[in-house]
């Protein structure tokens, strides 16, 4: 899927975690914001994307991905874009339809026999009544 550049906005911010002075001085983390409405997704794809994105999707339809895995801006930028593409590709996959199946006659008979057998075992555990 192709994502138009006007649907994406990138900001670079200071990353947290290890890295020493580099983390304090350089804004290496990338926050990618994608306006999902500009993508023109199919309603089913949109529904699946909402589930996949979860809390990363804002109420205004912005998908927010923060990448801070790497120490360079470019690597984090590429990582954020890759994650966006993976998410969109996953949302485009259709779920396999479930084919209803019936158990065979012999399978139903075996199930009933097993239930009767368990019932006999449980009945044998009951207190003996002297009627």
Tokens of 43: 């309603």
Sheet holding 8-13, edge to edge: 8-13, 29-35, 62-67
Q: For position 33, what pLDDT does the model report?
A: 86
Other C-beta atoms within 10 Å of 77: how many?
Answer: 18
- The region, left, alpha or beta by phi > 0 then psi within -120 to 50, assigned to residue 54 is left
Contacts of 54 (CB under 8 A, 6+ apart): none
Chain-centre distance of CA 26, in angstroms? Answer: 32
Tokens of 122: 């449980």
Does residue 104 carry a pLDDT above 90? yes
26 by Cβ neighbours in 10 Å (0-12 / 13-18 / 19+) ranks as: middle
The pLDDT tens digits of the residues spanning 36-69 come to 888 888 888 888 888 888 888 888 888 888 888 8
* The model's pTM: 0.66
* High-pLDDT (> 90) share of the chain, %: 23
């Amino acid at each position: 899927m192709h994502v138009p550049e006007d649907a994406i906005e990138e900001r670079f911010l200071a990353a947290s975690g290890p890295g020493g002075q580099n983390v304090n001085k350089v804004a290496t983390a990338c926050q990618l914001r994608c306006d999902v409405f500009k993508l023109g997704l199919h309603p089913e794809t949109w529904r699946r994307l909402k589930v996949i994105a979860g809390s990363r999707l804002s109420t205004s339809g912005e998908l927010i991905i923060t990448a801070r895995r790497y120490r360079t801006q470019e690597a984090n930028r590429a990582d954020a874009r890759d994650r966006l593409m993976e998410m969109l590709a996953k949302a485009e996959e259709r779920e396999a339809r479930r084919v209803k199946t019936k158990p065979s006659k012999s399978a139903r008979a075996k199930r009933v026999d097993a239930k009767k057998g368990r019932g006999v075992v449980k009945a044998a555990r009951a207190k003996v009544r002297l009627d």
